[in-house]
Amino acid sequence: MQARVLVRAAQLRYSQRVRTCRLQLARINAAGELAQMSRELIEAGLAHTWTAMRIARHIQHPESVVLSAHVEHACAGFAVMQFAQESAHLNLLAVRPQYQRRGIARQMLNWLHESAVTAGTFVVRLELRATSAAAHAFYRALGYRDAGRSAAYYQGVEDALCMVRDLRINDGVLRAPNG
């Protein structure tokens, strides 16, 4: 009983934190801003490969979803996921520093998980920079499991950690009531 009360309290705290964040499918004219966010938040120190043109291709591609998160009029974060028959692949996910730890990335990922399940895709895979402890902690909190390491995956200079989540397994990951 106490655990249920604690979970409910955490859900309320969580829903209050994300209440002001609005998710939408990114529009083509947002590609430049999202590419800039990728350059600064995800690809820092690497050559910039997620150009505006590449992001625009994903926005237009029928098997990709590019999601943006907005707080008032500002774009606070975004995500790119590619869907295939057997699994989905999370290509990019970032939240601007001033909006972090408000549950925005969790809300975006939950939205993408629901889309994947609706499409009949139950496995999500991703890679992240091996030096990114915050991202690793985030994905673990969202129920992702370590699935190996890919040496020099990023332009020959940095390893990637591979992670996977089976969306059929509900292992007690806390969900937002509205998320």
Ligand X SMILES: CC(C)(COP(=O)(O)OP(=O)(O)OC[C@H]1O[C@@H](n2cnc3c(N)ncnc32)[C@H](O)[C@@H]1OP(=O)(O)O)[C@@H](O)C(=O)NCCC(=O)NCCS
Q: Where do contacts with ligand X occur on this chain (CB under 6 A)?
A: 41-42, 92-95, 100-106, 128, 132, 134-135, 137-138, 141
When the beta carbons of 141 and 169 are compared against ligand X, the nearer one is 141
Helix-then-strand count for the chain, H and E: 5, 7
> Nearest distance from residue 164's CB to ligand X, in Å?
15
10 vs 84 by CB, closer to ligand X: 10
Contact of 50 with 38, CB cutoff 8 Å: yes
Torsion angle, alpha carbons of 150, 69, 22, 89, to 10: -30
Nearest approach, Cβ of 42 to ligand X (angstroms)? 5
Nearer to ligand X, 56 or 94 (CB): 94
Q: Which residues are catalytic?
A: 127, 139
Burial of residue 166, with CB atoms counted within 10 A of its CB: 0-12 exposed, 13-18 middle, 19 or more buried: middle
Could you give the CA distance from residue 161 to residue 127 in angstroms, rounded to a whole number?
5
Least distance to ligand X from the beta carbon of 76, Å? Answer: 8
